[in-house]
Structure 1
């Protein structure tokens, strides 16, 4: 027994492998208080949304392309239904209508409108068809609600 005491004692204390959570909790509470105090002081982000442009004078002739579903469109000239056709025939029909105008292709605006259930990809496809046909003034129909 004398030899055991000379080496460091008879009974050794075992170390326990545990994580002390108290300092961790203290740090988290301090961070929480800092964020709660500083959050109302941060500036809020303001998003500038584009506004609808208003023309001084309404154009004399307006061609409206109403997208009924992914493959079919209806043409309206000055709010009167003219024809119904597929999207692939749209370029052949729009070009003569633009050439009839007195000011050339730049004078007649083409407006695209679609129902809510039509996919956005279809609207982009119609815009692409009109661009390839040489239509320079293409707009999207926007309806605003008053109140």
Structure 2
């Protein structure tokens, strides 16, 4: 009788094919989610306590968002009337064309949705603003 030799793999060998499949799936998930994490509005935040804007700087352009979400800008002929998004971009573009270092500041009502303020900041960036500041009131003591 001849004995058939049992040809088994030694225990020290590990089948790595399933691990490679898992790694490829994780790589695809990372590649899909990474761009979603970097979207946003670039805002330079101060590293210290807020201080008033120096008088030596150009007069800032102030964009206001009221409680209803309407947008107002303090330049142009109709300062007390709401501004359309395209008109806002055009006005900011015009100001920055003549005075490129003009600060752009956003003042949002405390009751307005945060998303609406972010939309206004995105519009200002689309108008060419390299950085946007937020206006707050000092806390009451």
What does 1:16-27 align with in structure 2 at a 5 Å threshold?
none
Q: TM-score, normalised by structure 2?
A: 0.54
Say whether 1:141 aligns with 2:103: no
Q: 1:51/1:131 Cα in 2 relative to 1: closer, same or farther (>3 Å)?
A: same
Where structure 1 has 5 or more consecutive residues not aligned to the other structure, the ranges are 1-48
- In structure 1, the residue matched to 2:90 is 92
1:90 to partner: Cα distance? 1.2
- In structure 1, the residue matched to 2:104 is 110
Q: 1:56/1:129 Cα in 2 relative to 1: closer, same or farther (>3 Å)?
A: closer
Check whether the contact 2:58–2:103 (CA below 8 A) recurs between aligned residues.
no
1:76 to partner: Cα distance? 1.2
Deviations 1:56-81 (A, max 9, x none): 545231100001233x311115xxx4
Q: Which has the higher contact order (CA 8 A, sep 6+)?
A: 2
Q: Secondary structure in 1 aligned to 2:82?
A: strand
Q: Secondary structure in 2 aligned to 1:139?
A: strand
1:100 to partner: Cα distance? 2.5
- In structure 1, the residue matched to 2:119 is 125
Check whether the contact 1:108–1:137 (CA below 8 A) recurs between aligned residues.
no
Number of equivalences: 92
Q: Secondary structure in 1 aligned to 2:74?
A: strand
CA distance in 1, matches of 2:56, 2:71: 24
Deviations 1:25-80 (A, max 9, x none): xxxxxxxxxxxxxxxxxxxxxxxx9632455545231100001233x311115xxx
Q: Tell me which of 44, 63, 66 is aligned to 1:65.
A: 63
Q: Which has the larger radius of gyration?
A: 1
Q: CA RMSD in A?
A: 2.6
Q: TM-score, normalised by structure 1?
A: 0.52
Q: Tell me which of 68, 72, 75 is aligned to 1:74.
A: 72
